[in-house]
Amino acid sequence: MLVLITYDVNTTTPEGKRRLRTVAKKCVAHGTRVQNSVFECILDNTQLKLLRHDLEQTIDTSCDSLRIYVLGNSYQGKVTHIGAKETYELEGNLIL
């Protein structure tokens, strides 16, 4: 299923900057960055629960925020891309 993860981490302290890097690395490991703090991830229920738990343990809920949107398996008609960045097929073949 397609999951959209967004976050805002307070980076006014060195600890905040460290949390930001950690959250970004965890999201990069599970999906594709589509904007600075926005990731599209193809996950199953177990992967989502594990990632959510990891992210919840990483952020400071008193000053950071995390939003998770579950768009499901029929997401193709729910996502519209407009603008400069090239769109890509989330579940298509990837050639390196």
Give the pLDDT confidence score for residue 94 in this predicted structure.
47
Q: How many whole angstroms separate alpha carbon 32 and alpha carbon 18?
A: 20
- Residue 72 CA, distance from chain mean position: 15
Give the pLDDT confidence score for residue 12 in this predicted structure.
95
Q: Per residue in 50-75, pLDDT tens? A: 999 999 999 999 999 999 999 877 66
Q: How many whole angstroms separate alpha carbon 85 and alpha carbon 88?
A: 9
The structure tokens listed for 21 are 């890097």
Q: The whole model's pTM is what?
A: 0.79
